[in-house]
Amino acid sequence: LTGNRYLLTLYYGKNDNIEALTKVVVQFCQYYDFHDYYISIMEGDRFLPLFITTDKPFAEIEKILNYNLIYSVFKSGFHDCTVTLIQIENINELSGMKDRIKTLNSWALSIGNEKVITPGLVESIHPDNSALPRQFDIEALYAIKNNAAVELKKINRQFVDFLKTRRYTPPRIIRACTGYAFSILVCYQELNVNAYERIQDFRVFDALKNCCTAGEMVDCLDCLADMYAVCENENCREYSLTVRKIINYIAASYSSDISLEQIAERTGITPDYLSHLFTKEVGISFSTYIKEYRIGIAKKMMLDSNCKICEIGKKTGYGDPKYFSKVFREVTGLSPREYIRIRHP
């Protein structure tokens, strides 16, 4: 192959349609007469690499990407997509390029994803080494103590926006967000909100470490706010020891089969009395509570994991995908796919 060689890589959101994104890229290549191009998919990493050979110089390719491809990608609804560009001198450079792509792509956390990210652009950035202010942690803790989940989400966005404006390096942004999230979790514990198990289930901290865009980072932090709201609602009631044991058992065993008779046998209480006691204290029936609890977990998994809908169903106790979709619609008024589409338009 003769001409200039470029590795163009698109990073896409966890709920993005890879086939639709590929179509946008192919149309872009055809429009600019890039006859020598090859598209691949990096499984598990949500990267779409595109190898191009063309006579166009680097500056022209960069300009075309900024003014055309990124516009088309955003217009098609891929708002979490980032675009990186590397010039390749030798075809052998492609082997072992994965880590370099990931590192370059992570700079979207600092400079945003509104323009193509190149090695030259990254080199021109002068990272801010100043100390992080504590004002956002303080405001977040105040919002939590005042049970203001909406305000907490607003602070999350302000915090991430601040990190971008200061041009911190991607590793520092990730450390800052992880520390901020940990402060929130510590506050939950101080308020006796049992969020530790749920944090581990949804792997929020792992998700933060793998974020590549500000939007993903905000979603992770908002997940903490949503979990807090759920936990707070469950802990605002005074339950008897028996009912607390039932709730704790459901929290630990929601992924497996759970029956009232099973729990009654464990507690030494008749199923009828157990059902009456649970409904009286919790305000809803035992079966309704399990259903809403499982769907609540499923909703968060849809936002904070890469699992397929059928896998989420299995992890929340629904082995039959059709039945899972039916229950999900009963609780939320939406099918799982509709919920994901609305949450990630």
Other CB atoms within a 10 A radius of the CB of residue 314 amount to 15
Q: pLDDT tens per residue, the chain (345 residues)? A: 568 899 999 999 888 888 899 999 999 988 888 867 787 766 667 899 999 988 899 999 999 999 999 999 999 999 889 999 999 987 777 777 888 898 999 999 998 899 999 999 999 998 888 888 888 988 888 887 777 788 899 999 999 999 988 889 999 999 999 989 888 877 776 665 455 555 655 677 888 888 888 988 998 898 878 776 666 555 555 678 788 788 878 887 888 889 999 898 888 889 999 999 999 988 889 999 999 889 988 887 887 667 889 999 999 999 999 999 999 999 888 899 888 887 665
Distance CA 208, CA 210 (A): 5
Handedness of CA 131, 126, 109, 211 (dihedral sign): negative
Distance CA 115, CA 95 (A): 26
The reported pLDDT for the residue numbered 194 is: 54
In DSSP notation, 192-216 reads T---HHHHHHHTHHHHHHT--SHHH
Handedness of CA 260, 261, 265, 271 (dihedral sign): positive
Other CB atoms within a 10 A radius of the CB of residue 189 amount to 11
The reported pLDDT for the residue numbered 193 is: 47
The reported pLDDT for the residue numbered 202 is: 61
Statement: the pTM of the whole predicted model exceeds 0.75: no
Tokens of 165: 């404006």
Whose tokens are 């977990």? That residue is: 297
The reported pLDDT for the residue numbered 217 is: 92
Q: Which helix (H) or strand (E) holds 276?
A: helix 271-282
Return the closest-CA partner of residue 238 out of 247, 228, 251.
247
Whole-number Cα distances in Å, 264 to 86, 117, 253, 273, 301: 63, 59, 15, 9, 30
